[in-house]
Amino acid sequence: MRYLFILFLLGFLSMSNASEQNQDQGLRHVVVFKYKPEASQQDINKVTNTLRSLKDKIPGILRFEYGINNSPEGLDQGFTHVYQFTFVDAAARDHYLPHREHAKFGQLLGELDILESVFVVDYPINE
């Protein structure tokens, strides 16, 4: 019985250590937009370029990627534009969220009034 307890304890500690290592590998922050039908390409480009510029203005962002949905499955529910940030870790993401440059981006979205809906997914990078 003691042997089983030690094995369980070692397994638990191993899983905890693996979890901590995964957190050190970075965090992805995925933002998906559904623009209003009347949104102009110029305004969408302004949003994209402003998001892209955050990488150089906010510490802890390792990478910025974006793309336009082209899935043939028809399951996008009208969401078209994907923006993905890779952060050093969750703390960097937590610094980014209230950052003044991120707040300015929110103000821009409000001024342009072209966003119909958004959803966000964050996850630790597990390789």
- Is residue 81 situated within a structural domain? yes
Which residues span the domain enclosing 84? 26-124
pLDDT tens track for 39-76? 999 999 999 999 999 999 999 999 999 999 999 999 99
Residue 38 has pLDDT above 60, yes or no: yes
Averaged pLDDT, 71-82:
97
- Is residue 101 situated within a structural domain? yes
pTM of the model: 0.79
CATH of the domain at 105: 3.30.70.100
> Rounded to 5 degrees, what angle do the CA atoms 76, 88, 125 make?
50
- Is residue 54 situated within a structural domain? yes
* Torsional class of 20: left (φ above 0), alpha (ψ -120 to 50), beta (otherwise): alpha
What pairs with residue 85 in β-bridges? Answer: 29, 64
Phi, psi of 41 (to 5 degrees): -60, -35
Number of domains in the chain: 1
